[in-house]
Every structure is written in C-alpha cells, then in structure tokens.
Amino acid sequence: MGRIVQKFGGTSVGSVERIQNVAKRIIHEVDAGNEVVVVVSAMGKTTDELVKLATEISGNPSKREMDMLLTTGEQITIALLTMALHQEGYKAQSLTGWQAGIQTEDAFSNARILDIDSKRISSLLEEGHIVVVAGFQGLIPETKDIATLGRGGSDTTAVALAAALKAERCDIYTDVTGVYTTDPRVVNSARKLPSISYDEMLEMANLGAGVLHPRAVEFAKNYNITLEVRSSMSEERGTLVEEEVSMEQNLMVRGLAFEGNITKITVSSVPNEMHALAELFTILASNGINVDIIIQNVLNEEKTNISFSIESNSLSATQEVLAAHQGKLGFESISYEQGLAKVSIVGSGMISNPGVAAKMFKALSDEEIMIKMVSTSEIKVSTVVKQEDMIKSIETLHDVFELDARVPVQNT
Ligand code: ASP
Ligand code: MG
C-alpha cells in the first residue's frame, strides 16, 4: 500500500461535474489500495474574482484581510469535493491549511511554509479517510493569522505535504497534459516532454512558465520527490519532474520560456567606486524592487553606467526611489526603455556543450532581432528583446534547437 498526494488545480475543480470527475480519480487510487491526500485549488477563476472584489473596495487593501479573503476559495472546494466522495460511499474529511498543520513564516500574501505538523492527517489516514486539504494557505504560529503562499501556491502545499508524509508519489493534475518545450498556445510545434530535471523545471518556472509554482519545484528537489504533471481530463501520461533525466540525443536545450512587460533602466554616470553597485542595489532591494538582469558598463576611471531590467509595473516605483537617492548615489541621469520581453533557453545539456549561447545569438541576429541584454547560468541563457520580437524569437529558437523533432511521448 502506498501513500500518495494528488493535487487538482482550479480548472480541474471548476464545476460540480468536474469535482465529481476528480472524486472518481481519487477513488481510483483508493481502490488500488493507496492512502490518498488530496490538495485542491479554488474553483475556476474564483481567486481572480475575489481579488477583483477587493480592488473594488480598496486600491490598497490590507494584506491580512486579502489573505483572509483569498483563502475562502479553497475552502469551498475542499467541502464540495469531500461531499462528492461521501456521495460515492467513501470516508473522507476536509481540512483547511491550518487544520492540516501547515505553518508559515510571518508574512502575508507570499509566505513560505516553515513546518508541517502532520499528526492530524496521519491519524485520519490511519482511520481510513481520504484527506482533502485546502491548498495555498497556512497559519502563522505566532499570531494565529492565516497566510497565503503566493498565486499558484497550491502546488507548493501538495509537494510540501508529500515531503512531510513521505509520500510515494505526488501527482499534479492541471489543465494541460504536461510540461511542454514551450507554451503550446504560442508555438504550434511545442512538444510535451516525457521528463524534465528539477533544475531545468526550476529555471523554467522562474522564467515565467506558469505550469508549476517555483517553490513547489524547490521542495521537490530538496526532498527528492518525483512529480508528475498531467491532465485531470485525460488518461494520457504527463511529464515527470525528477532528479536525473537522460538527455534526448544531441539535445542541448530542453525548453524555452518567455515573459513580456519588461523595462530596462539605465543609470548613467555613476561614480566608478568600490561601493557603487552595492549601494544602488541595496537601496532598490530595501524598497522591494525586484531587479533581474544587471549590466555594468565602465565609461572611464571615474564613471560607469549601470543598466538593469525590472517588471514594467515597478517602473514608477523605481524612478521614485532612484530620484530620492540621486544625491547619495551621485549619478547624472536615468533613462529607460519599455516594451521589452525576456526570451530564455533552458537545458542541462549546455553545461557540457560550448557554443549554445553563440548559436542562440546567431539565430536571433539572422532574423534581425536585436538583443538588448543577456544573462546566463549554467543551464540557461536569457536575452532581452523587443516585445514585438518575442514570439518570432521563440519560434526561431524552437526551430534552431530542434525542439519539435524528438521522440514522441509514450502514452499508456
Ligand atoms: N487559488 C490560488 C490561485 O489562483 C492558488 C492556486 O490555485 O494554486 O493562485
Ligand atoms: Mg497552477
């Protein structure tokens, strides 16, 4: 007998019929002799609708009340799904995040899970219950306040529970059939991957591929839990996210990620001193501004230019912070370029294959796509291009790295 965690996303539980369909999937595992813990998201677009309601009341709602509001979505799903399981004649009980013993750090809206006291879940399982847990929420132990784990955080609830309960498997049911080489809605020839490594998945998730919450991948990596990302609407096997993934023949790149709405800021003529970079980025960080790619351009012995990219919606905040510290930082002027996008290639095959970045740059320049910024890690290369060139860049790179041509995924 195995212990498994199944997670169902918002689309999978978006209606009464779908909740009943999910109940059947769960029962299938129970009948096979497994102990099952289920994690669910809010139904359909509930969370977005709740966010909208809040913004109709306040332009700047309290974070505590926001979390109080948003966690209600998952609570609806756990009760309905548990009723559906009862209806089929199975023992089941729903638990909110705090009833399930999920403890978070003292931070609203994007809290990390610090610990899980899984006693209550374990004893329910021992009594033969299916346990249905609300995703995306936990309790701050010091204050007994409810905190959410950030949008998409139900994935993290599922993987964290799988770790705490030493589950054999963690299946993430979503509205796509797996992890693709890139977004199939954008590139027709995008292909479902049979498997992807934790590190590659982490890069993809952090670079804007929405299929898994990045912290869920971190948990899976740290506790070595194999995830399967698959669809609740089909029997097709999904994508395995695991430690070791064999490289398909000659494949240096596993997938492409992209994201729009990026702005490049250039701070000109900063004094070229030892502490200049530290000072600038400390000020930005302490004001909550998330900086991505950084480029330093030394002009001469005295002066340097510093460019960095941010999400476009933090442009005005960034300008304000910089203006307020111009005296201290000693720069001459700020300029910015909006309407940019980040296009990245990801693959552990590039560690041992030189020339991957060169191939990327050549492919883009052959299409006359101007690269504005670059950043790399061992297993990714990101470029910033004009947003209007984003789709063309992705299509070009998908072709050049032959991402569509590999062995098809085997279905069972
Ligand atoms: N319901 C939350 C959201 O929409 C959490 C989740 O679905 O994972 O972000
Ligand atoms: Mg999700």
Ligand 1 atom having least distance to the Cα of 9: 7
Per-residue pLDDT, 208: 82
Q: End-to-end CA distance of the chain, in Å?
A: 22
The pLDDT tens digits for 156-200 are: 999 999 999 999 999 999 989 999 999 988 899 999 999 999 999
Domains held by the chain: number: 2
Ligand 1 atom having least distance to the Cα of 157: 8
Cα of 100 to ligand 2 centre, how many Å? 21
Per-residue pLDDT, 325: 96
Cα of 154 to ligand 1 centre, how many Å? 6
In a domain, 251, yes or no: no
In a domain, 9, yes or no: yes
The pLDDT tens digits for 358-377 are: 999 999 999 999 999 999 99
- Average pLDDT of the residues of the chain: 94
From CA 22, how far away is CA 110, in angstroms rounded? 28
Residue of 70, 155, 172 best suited for mutating to test ligand 1, as the one with most atoms within 8 Å of CB: 70
Cα of 392 to ligand 1 centre, how many Å? 31
Per-residue pLDDT, 247: 62
Residues constituting the chain:
412
Residue of 12, 39, 40, 41 best suited for mutating to test ligand 1, as the one with most atoms within 8 Å of CB: 41
Ligand 1 pocket residue status of 41, Cβ below 6 Å: yes
Last-in-domain residue among 134, 156, 175? 175
162 and 22 fall within a common domain:
yes
Nearest CA to ligand 1 atom 8: 152
Closest by CA position to 71, among listed 18, 177, 147: 147
User: Residue 128 in 3-state DSSP?
Assistant: coil
Cα of 261 to ligand 1 centre, how many Å? 22
From CA 96, how far away is CA 316, in angstroms rounded? 38
Last-in-domain residue among 145, 175, 205? 175
**217, containing H or E segment:** helix 214-223
CB 195 within 8 A of CB 406: no
Report, as ranges of residue numbers, the positions in the chain whose pLDDT lies below 50: 408-412
Last-in-domain residue among 125, 147, 175? 175
Q: What is the pTM of this model?
A: 0.90
Per-residue pLDDT, 252: 87
From CA 213, how far away is CA 215, in angstroms rounded? 6
State the SS3 of 268-282.
Answer: EEEECCCCHHHHHHH
CATH number at residue 73: 3.40.1160.10
* Neighbour count for residue 324 (Cβ, 10 Å): 12
Strand ordering across the sheet containing 145-148 = 113-116, 102-104, 137-140, 145-148
In a domain, 197, yes or no: no
The pLDDT tens digits for 105-150 are: 999 999 999 999 999 999 999 999 999 999 999 999 999 999 999 9
In a domain, 364, yes or no: yes
From CA 186, how far away is CA 73, in angstroms rounded? 30
Ligand 1 atom having least distance to the Cα of 155: 8
Cα of 10 to ligand 2 centre, how many Å? 8
160 and 62 fall within a common domain:
yes
Q: Strands (DSSP E) along 249-332, which ranges?
A: 255-271, 294-298, 303-311
